[in-house]
Amino acid sequence: MSTSVPIKKNEFYEVTFEGLTHEGMGVANVDGFVIFVPGALPDEQGKIKVTKVNKGYGFGKLIELKKLSKFRIEPECTIYNQCGGCQLQHMSYEGQLEFKYKHVVDVIKRIGKINDVTIQTIIGAKNEWRYRNKAQVPVGEIEGGLVAGFYKKGSHDIINMDLCLIQQENNDAVVRIVKKVLSDEGIQPYNELTHKGLIRHIMSRYGVVTKEIMVVLVTTSKDLPSKKKIIAEIVSQIPNVKSIVLSINHKKTNVVLGDETVVLWGERYIHDCIGDIKFAISANSFFQVNPEQTKVLYDKALEYAHLTGSETVIDAYCGIGTISLFLAQRAKKVYGVEIVPQAIDDANRNTELNNITNVEFKVGKAEEIIPNWYSRGIKADVMVVDPPRKGCDSALLETILEMKPNRVVYVSCNPGTLARDLQILEDGGYKTIEIQPVDMFPHTAHVECCSLLVRKD
C-alpha cells in the first residue's frame, strides 16, 4: 500500500459528508481521499471508523453523528438497519427525490457531457409504501426452525421477515402463510453450503388490478412431500390464489428461478393491467414491480414517441411486450425484439389477449435482428430502447445511427449507462431534447429515466 494514502484501517476520523453514491452511501473526504459510508447523508458531520482501504478509495462505518441532515428521519421499518433491501429509508421522501434528481443531472453532465438538455423535475410516486407486486424471499433454517426473509447487508444470512413496508400487503400474507405451511409439514430448507434441502425461495406475485395471486415454490426437486396437503392449506388460507407453481432449481447458483416450471394447482398465469393493456404473467415473466409508476413512465415514452398513426416503431429489448403494446395503440406497426424466447412467447400471448394486430415480435439479439429488418426494407420512424442496467449493446447503437430513425425514446434504469449511450448517439447525429426522471422504487437508490432524442438534421 502506498504511503501517500492518508487514512488507515480501523482508525477514527471526523468527517463532513458531501454527497451520496448512486447506491445511497454517504461520501466523505479525508485529505482528498474518498471514503464511502453507509447510512450517512449529505451535509451531515460525524465520526467514522475506516473498515477497508483500497488504492483510490475506502469504506467506513458511521460511529456518531454530530450534525444531522434536514432530510434525516427515523426509518419506518424495524429491520431496516440489518436488511439490504432498501437503502434510503433514513431519508425523507422529499430528500430521496432531490437526491435522485441531482444524481441524474450530475451523470448526464459529467459522463454524457450534455449540458443543453431539459431535465424535468422527477415524478415521485403517489404511494411510496406498499408498491411492490412481487415478493421473492430466500428460505433458511435457524435453530431447527424454517425462516424466510431478506439477506442481511453484505451477507447470505437470512433475517426472518413477516412484514416488508415496500411490498403489497398481500405478498406479506402469502410469505407468512406459506412459510408456516411448509414448516408445519417439515419441508427442509435448502442449505447453500451443503447443497442439501428442498425449498430455496418463496415467491408471490400479485395482480394489483385483478387481485389475482400466484405462489411460486422454488425447490431443488419436483418431488414435494405432503404435496396435496400443502396445496389444500395454501388454497384455503389465501383467498385470491389462482396459481401454485414449482420452479425447479437444482443448480449451485445465486439465480433464483430454475429452468423447469411445474403447475401444482390452478393456472400457469395470473393477469394484471397497466392502463388499458392486460398482461398474462407467468412465474418467469419480467413484469415491472410498480405498475402504478410504470404507467407514468410508459405514458411519457408514448408522449415522446409522438405517434400519429402512420409510423413504424421498433422496440428493442421488448421483454413481454409491455411498451410495444402501449405504442401499438397509436402506431401503424410495431416490431419488437428480445433475446429471451420465453419473453417473446409471453409477448405474443399478450398481443392476442388484447386483440392487437399491428405488432410483430422476434427472438434474437437486437443488434442482429434489426439490421436484418433494415435489409428487408423495414425502417423505423421511431426507435424505443429499454435495455438492462448495463445499457445498450454498442452494436445496437451503431445500428440506430445507421438506420437513422427520426426519434429515439430511451427508457433507462441506470442513469450512468444512459449518459454514456446518449453521448454516443449525440456524437452520431442526435440531439437529446428532454429527460424525465421517474421514481419507480421509493426508499431504494434506483431511479428510472425516459429520454427523447431527435435527428439534428
Predicted pLDDT of residue 317 = 93
Taking all residues of the chain, what is their mean pLDDT, rounded to a whole number? 94
Q: How many helices (H) and strands (E) does the chain have?
A: 9, 22
* Letter string b/e over residues 165-200, b meaning 16 or more CB atoms within 10 A of that residue's CB: bbbbebbbbbbbbbbebbbeeebebbeeeeeebbbb
Predicted pLDDT of residue 2 = 46
Helix (H) or strand (E) holding 316: strand 312-316
Low-confidence ranges of the chain (pLDDT < 50): 1-2
Architecture of domain 12-67: Beta Barrel (2.40)
The owner of cell 434525516 is 72
**Which pTM does this prediction carry?**
0.92
**450 has catalytic annotation:** no
- Give the separation between CA 243 and CA 267, rounded to whole angstroms: 5
- Give the separation between CA 344 and CA 337, rounded to whole angstroms: 8
- Is it true that 12-67 and 98-126+290-455 share their CATH fold? no
Predicted pLDDT of residue 160 = 87
- Give the separation between CA 423 and CA 109, rounded to whole angstroms: 10
Predicted pLDDT of residue 155 = 78
What are the boundaries of each domain within the chain? Answer: 12-67, 98-126+290-455, 134-274
Predicted pLDDT of residue 1 = 42
Predicted pLDDT of residue 5 = 82
Catalytic residue among 77, 86, 164, 413: 413
CATH of domain 98-126+290-455: 3.40.50.150
Predicted pLDDT of residue 280 = 94
134-274: in CATH 2.40.50.1070: yes
All cell numbers assigned to 379: 425502417
Side-chain half-sphere CA neighbours of 142 within 13 A: 11
- Mind listing the pLDDT tens digit for each residue in 102-152? 999 999 999 999 999 999 999 999 999 999 999 999 999 877 678 888 888
